[in-house]
Amino acid sequence: MNHRFTLKSRLLGAAAMAALLAQAVTAHAQDDTIKVGVLHSLSGTMAISETTLKDVMLMLVDEQNKKGGLLGKQLEAVVVDIASDWPLAAEKARELIEVNNVDAVFGCWTSVCRKSVLPVFEELNSLLFYPVQYEGEESQRNVFYTGASPNQQAIPAVDYLMNEEGVERWVLAGTDYVYPQTTNKILEAYLKDKGVAAEDIMINYTPFGHSDWQTIVSDIKNFGSAGKKTAVVSTINGDANVPFYRELGNQGIAAEDIPVVAFSVGEEELAGLDTTPLVGHLSAWNYFMSVDTPENASFIETWHAFIGDAERVTNDPMEAHYIGFNMWAAAVEKAGSTDADAIIDAIVGVEVPNLTGGTAVMLPNHHITKPVLIGEIQADGQYDVVWETEDLVPGDAWSDYLPESAVLEADWTAPINCGNYNTETKTCGGS
C-alpha cells in the first residue's frame, strides 16, 4: 500500500513538474518575441479605409525583422478585427494587452474608436499609436497622435480656400460623431473670427454608411447659388464617401463651381471610385503618394513588393503608421526596453524621417511635426499637390480658437507632466 502511494506521489510530482516546464518553455517562447498589436476594422463601414493600415503594419513588422528585430528579438504582429464596432474595439484592445501580451498597439481610425479604447490603455498602462487626423482637444499619456490635429489639416485647408480660391460660403459636411463635430466647432469659430457671417455657414451631419445623398447634395447646390464662391469642407468618413461623390457627379457639381476639400478621402478611397467627375476636387493631408522624394519612392517599392500588387496605392495614414512605428522602434532601442513607462520617457524628442523629405519629431504633447499639403484629384486617382506649407507644423493638442481650450497646454515631461495644464491657473485638470 505504501509502495503504491509512493509511486502515485512520484507520478503526480512528475506530472506537476512537466506542467511547470511546459509553462516555462511557453513563457520563454513568448519572451523571444516582441508582440505588436494591430487594432483596425477589417469589416464594416470603415474597412474601406482601415484594411490597408493592417497591411502596412504587417509590412513594417516584416521589414524590422529583416533588420534583426529589436533588442535582439523578432517582432510578432497580432491582428484583430474591430469590425467598425466601437465597444468591440475596447474589448479587442484589452484582449491584445491582457491575453496576447502585446508591447504596443497601432490602430483605430475614427475618434469614437480612440475614445472607446482610451480607458483600457490608461488602466493597463499600455501604448497606442493613433495614425489618423483627428479633432484635437486631447492629450493622453498613453497615446501618441501621429495623424494631423486641426492646425495641421483643417485650418490650413480653410486658409487655402479662403486666400487662394476666394471662398466666402462654407458647407461643413461630416459624419455624425466626435471628429467631425469637434473639428467643425473649431472651424465655425475660426471662420467667424475671420469675419464670415453665420448665414454663410451650413453644417450637416449624416450617419456612418449613409447612402442617400440626393437631397443633401441638392441643398448644397442651392446653398452655393447665392452669388458667393462656395466650398464644401468634408469630414465624411468611410464608405459613405462613395455615394456622396457619385451624387455630386450626378447633379453636375464640378470642382470649379463648388470645390470639395476632404479630410478623410485619400488614394485608398479613390481607388474604389470613378474619379472622372471628381477631377479638381481637393484633399488636405500631410502626405500624398505622388510626392517625389527618394524616401517615398523606396517606401512605395517596398510596399508593392510586400503586398505583391503594383497597383496598390499608399496614403497619409499609412505614412503616419510608418512614422509612429519607426518612432516606437527608436524609443525601444533608446530605452533598452519595451516597458510602457520607459517608452513614454524615451520617445519625446525622437526624430525620424517622414516620406515627404523632412523629419517628424515627437513633441512633449505626444503630437508630431508635419508638413501640410493640399492635393487636387486627378483622373488616375492620384493627387497633384497644389499647395504646401513652407515649414513643418507642430501639432497642437488644444485649439487656439476655442476659448476653453486656448488656455490649455499639454506637456508630458517634467515638471508639468500633464495633458491639459491650465496656463492661467497653473493647475493640471487631468488627462
Among 287, 274, 284, CA closest to 247: 274
Angle subtended by helix axes 241-250 and 214-223, to nearest 10: 60
What would the mean pLDDT of 139-161 be, rounded to a whole number? 97
Q: How far apart are CA 286 and CA 138, in angstroms?
A: 20
Residue 9 counted as domain residue: no
How much is the pLDDT for 26?
Answer: 38
Mean pLDDT along residues 406-423? 97
Q: Above 50 in pLDDT, residue 25?
A: no
Q: Is the pLDDT of residue 306 over 90?
A: yes
pLDDT of res. 186: 97
Distance CA 198, CA 246 (A): 29
Secondary element (H or E) of residue 27? helix 2-31
**Computed over its alpha carbons, how large is the radius of gyration of the chain?**
24
Kindly state whether residues 38 and 110 are assigned to the same domain: yes
Q: 328 and 233, same structural domain?
A: no
pLDDT above 70: residue 189: yes
Q: What is the pLDDT of residue 5?
A: 41
Annotate 196-243 with DSSP letters as a single string: --GGGEEEEEE-TT----HHHHHHHHHHTTSSS-EEEEEE--GGGHHH
Alpha-helix runs per DSSP H in 100-236: 111-124, 154-164, 178-193, 214-223
Pairing of strands 128-130, 260-262: unpaired
Cα separations (Å) of 419 from 79, 192, 247, 272, 347? 29, 28, 42, 39, 16
Residue 393: inside a domain: no
Contact 388, 165 (CB under 8 A): no
Same domain, 92 and 210: no
The answer as to whether 410 is a domain residue is: no
∠ CA 218-221-226, nearest 5°, is 135
Examine the fold and report which residue of 324, 345, 371 is the final residue of a domain before the chain moves on.
Answer: 371
Q: Which residue in this structure is represented by grid cell 488644444?
A: 398
DSSP notation for 70-89? BTTBEEEEEEEE-TT-HHHH
**Domain edge (last residue) among 285, 317, 334:** 285
Asked if residue 179 belongs to a domain, the reply is yes
Kindly report the backbone phi and psi dihedral angles of residue 179, in degrees, each rounded to the nearest multiple of 5, phi listed first.
Answer: -60, -55
What gap in Å lies between CA 72 and CA 66, rounded to an integer?
12
Domain assignment present for 2: no
Shared domain check, 159 and 139:
no
Residues 6 or more apart in contact with residue 142 via CB below 8 angstroms? 118, 121, 122, 125, 126, 127, 128, 340, 344
Domain of residue 248: give its range: 152-285
CA 33, 128, 145, 289 dihedral sign is positive
Residue 348 has pLDDT above 50, yes or no: yes
The whole-angstrom separation of Cα 144 and Cα 295 is 23
C-alpha cell of residue 266: 485619400
pLDDT at 242 over 90: no
Establish if 344 belongs to a structural domain: yes
Residues 253 and 299 placed together within one structural domain of the fold: no
When divided into structural domains, the chain yields a total of 2
Predicted confidence at residue 238, as pLDDT, reads: 85
* Same structural domain, 236 and 343: no
Q: Which residues contact 401 (CB under 8 A, 6 or more apart)?
A: 155, 186, 189, 190, 193
Residues 141, 159 within the same domain = no
Regarding whether 196 and 117 lie in a shared domain, the answer is: no
Answer whether 80's CB lies under 8 Å from 68's CB: no
At residue 408 the predicted structure's pLDDT band, cuts being 50, 70 and 90, is very high
Q: Is pLDDT at 16 greater than 50 in this prediction?
A: no
Q: What average pLDDT score do residues 381-385 get? A: 97
Alpha-carbon distance values, 98 to 30, 64, 65, 74, 107 (Å): 14, 24, 24, 20, 17
Residues 341 and 216 grouped into a single domain: no
CB 365 within 8 A of CB 412: yes
CA–CA separation, 264 and 279 (whole Å)? 17
Please give the residue that has the higher pLDDT: either 117 or 274.
117
Span 356-376, average pLDDT: 98
Higher pLDDT: 22 or 292? It is 292
Q: How sure is the predictor about 269, in pLDDT bands with cuts at 50, 70 and 90?
A: confident
Indicate the pLDDT class of residue 339, thresholds 50, 70 and 90: very high
pLDDT at 334: 98
- Other residues' Cβ atoms within 10 Å of the Cβ of residue 336: 10
Across the chain, what does the average pLDDT equal? 92
Residue 420 lies in a domain: no
2 has pLDDT over 90? no
CB under 8 A, 24+ apart: contacts of 3-9: none
**The total number of residues written for the chain in this structure:** 431
pLDDT at 131: 98
CATH assignment of the domain containing 41: 3.40.50.2300
pLDDT digits (tens, 9 = 90+) for 164-188: 999 999 999 999 999 999 999 999 9
- Domain boundary among the residues 371, 392, 416 is at 371
30 falls in which pLDDT band (50, 70, 90)? very low
Residue percentage of the chain with pLDDT more than 90: 87
Q: Is residue 324 part of a domain?
A: yes
In a shared domain, residues 323 and 264: no
Is there a contact between 177 and 112 (Cβ–Cβ < 8 Å)? yes
Give me the pLDDT at residue 85, please. Answer: 97
Over residues 49-75, the mean pLDDT reads: 97
- Residue 21 is predicted with a pLDDT of 41
Same domain, residue pair 162 and 51? no
pLDDT at position 29 is: 41
141 in the same domain as 179? no
The model's confidence at residue 11, banded by pLDDT at 50, 70 and 90, is very low
211-222 tens-digit pLDDT: 999 999 999 999
